[in-house]
Structure 1
């Protein structure tokens, strides 16, 4: 996965900053689950161009950001300046931090790029302090299973399976690999790594989303949809 986003870094950053799914759904949900972060040391694992890091900073957190894409981190540095320690790190590798370094780890839409969650979750657990939290967002497994079936794929919801997509943004093209897995495989991985599942959330979109994106909500009676799935995991 290292560097996969480099060819589309500029285009993806621009899209992500204002999109329904990211700006009006995923980031507001993560911030709501995080609550009061003032003074907390937070690792933004898979920080991309840093939009969530910036919002955590505004709320008083001390943030460290890591991502496998050097191209995305260039945009993060332009956004965040020297206020955040940013490093190129592949989440499949050991993390370059001491034990008990962080109060929280946020893993925003990144775990679904990994086939095996075990080593990465073990590293998150290692760098979290006692009483720390891991906040996770992933693609909703039910929504992905439905999408793949509607596309004519013969795939079992209960299997962990590879999905490859080609994304074209900002004049660049990237081939991205996603590992889809059922809900029980996610929670089993969390508990096997020593986390306690405190929250599983399927949140509403942010206020104003329906008005800003009326075409996306056509056919929906409200402001909720199956997009991403969110977890708060505690270290006891």
Structure 2
């Protein structure tokens, strides 16, 4: 594909925004990634929490229901509009690129950060992790989910597991195939990016599908019991 026709994340999500909620209802999200990620989140009642890369506001909605003071950010205008419709006044929403300095936040002003299935659009995780560490109070948590490095390596037939590489997935929206670029990386880049930015790794989960997944997608259930799909992580800023 010529460089000027190369798809961007921004263009892809402009097209996906109207129908993206159906992705949340997909059993891979609803019965695998989302429950595993939310189980890692500590009590958030009366806590200040950043939803980084909020998309349609799935996590922001969940956090607000549990009494958190939520700031939800994303770079995509169309996705933010959908999040505003969903969340209303229950959370603050801003247009922010998490690969840039988070100038809206002073040091140590958040109790937690959640980043659900957004980091695979970022080439180097050290930049957002360093900013997350800066804005967190001592003892604050970071919970994130990502595509599993082994799944990406096999599914995209990568030549070199150890490279960080730009790949493309194909999603469908209103009958149209949408090319969505992302970055695959080795497992070491996940862990080292955390450690090098000052986090303690508290728990790492390679979730298996729930029984409800089996009811919705029985043809994939047995494979996903034996094969990694997502990676869900909780880390903390040292006291």
TM-score (norm 2): 0.89
Report the equivalent of 1:169. 173
Partner of 2:58: 51
1:131 is the counterpart of 2:136:
no
User: What's the secondary structure of 1:158's corresponding residue?
Assistant: coil
Aligned to 1:30: 37
Measured in 1, the distance between the counterparts of 2:184 and 2:86 equals: 31
Shift of 1:67: 0.7
Which aligned runs of 4 or more in structure 1 are off by greater than 3 angstroms? 1-4, 171-175, 221-225
**Match in the other structure for 1:63:** 70
Deviation at 1:222, TM superposition (A): 7.9
The one of 190, 199, 214 aligned to 1:210:
214
Deviation, structure 1 residue 62: 1.5
In 2, Cα distance between the equivalents of 1:67 and 1:131?
25
Residue equivalent to 1:91: 98
- In structure 2, C-alpha distance between the alignment counterparts of 1:33 and 1:225, rounded to whole Å: 21
Deviation at 1:166, TM superposition (A): 3.8
Aligned equivalents of 1:18 and 1:121: distance in 2? 28
What is the count of residue pairs matched by the alignment?
Answer: 229
Residue 200 of structure 1, CA deviation: 1.0
Q: Which runs of 5+ in 1 are unaligned?
A: none
Corresponding residue for residue 76 of structure 1: 83
CA contact (8 A) 1:34 1:135 kept: yes
Q: Which has the higher helix share?
A: 2
Indicate conservation of the 8 Å contact 1:8/1:171, yes or no: no
How big is the alpha-carbon RMSD for the aligned residues of Structure 1 and Structure 2? 1.8
Three-state SS of the structure 1 residue aligned to 2:51 is strand
Structure 2 match to 1:157: 161
Shift of 1:117: 1.5
The reply to whether residue 102 of structure 1 matches residue 106 of structure 2 is no
> Aligned in 2, Cα 1:156/1:221: closer, same or farther, shift over 3 Å?
closer
